[in-house]
Amino acid sequence: MDITQLIVDDHTEQRRLFALIEQLTADDRHALKVVWNRLRALLDTHARAEELYFYPELLKLGRGADGESPKEETRDAIKDHNEIRDTASAVERESLGSPKWFAAVAAANKANSDHMAEEERQGLTDFRRHVDLALRHRLGVQFICFDNEHLTGVEPVDLDVEAYVAENS
């Protein structure tokens, strides 16, 4: 078990759930609701698990990738997590299945997709290159336990980016 692979697996599921919503219509209200609820829980839980288990270790052990230092990678990621939480919250302020609701979902998808691409290119690459498999396994166990203990999600709370980096460096 490798935390970097678990993160990528979650990314695949997030992409799949966004794609399912894109294939539904406003008439599919129940399906929109249940798929969105699962996706929202996954987005929030995934971000929190990364903040607890992945990024503190990246700050300590990473050396950088794709021209970014571990601190820059982490700052970007925490800022992205806040944006994902904020765009996901915007979805819930709209009427389910309305054009504004679908537009809000699209904005959340864009924020999340941009984050995943950057994370896969930078933080995860950095971690695979510079952190041994034994630690990646131990972190993977913690990550998957947190993920499964919070199947219904966690409270989405934006973090102070600079305070997070300072506390975990």
Angstrom distance (rounded) from CA 132 to CA 99: 47
Taking only the tens place, the pLDDT of each residue in 7-58 is 999 999 999 999 999 999 999 999 999 999 999 999 999 999 999 999 999 9
Taking only the tens place, the pLDDT of each residue in 102-117 is 999 999 999 999 999 9
Write down the pLDDT at residue 152.
Answer: 87
Write down the pLDDT at residue 82.
Answer: 98
Task: Name the β-bridge partners of 68.
Answer: 65
Q: Where are the beta strands (DSSP E) in the chain?
A: none
Angstrom distance (rounded) from CA 149 to CA 51: 16
The answer to whether 2 touches 30, Cβ cutoff 8 Å, is no
**pLDDT tops 90 at residue 68:** no
Angstrom distance (rounded) from CA 17 to CA 23: 10
Minimal CA–CA distance to 106: which of 160, 39, 158? 39
Cα-Cα-Cα-Cα dihedral sign, residues 111, 89, 31, 45: positive
Angstrom distance (rounded) from CA 73 to CA 65: 8
Mean pLDDT across the stretch 123-137?
A: 96
Confidence of residue 132 (pLDDT cuts 50, 70, 90): very high
Minimal CA–CA distance to 3: which of 39, 69, 55? 55
Confidence of residue 135 (pLDDT cuts 50, 70, 90): very high
65 phi, psi to nearest 5 deg = -155, 150
Q: Any idea where the domains of the chain sit in the sequence? A: 3-168
For the chain, the average pLDDT equals: 96
Q: Which amino acid is at 117?
A: A
Q: Which amino acid is at 100?
A: K
Q: Please tell me whether the overall predicted TM-score, pTM, comes out greater than 0.85 for this model.
A: yes
Confidence of residue 140 (pLDDT cuts 50, 70, 90): very high
CA 80 from centre of chain: 8
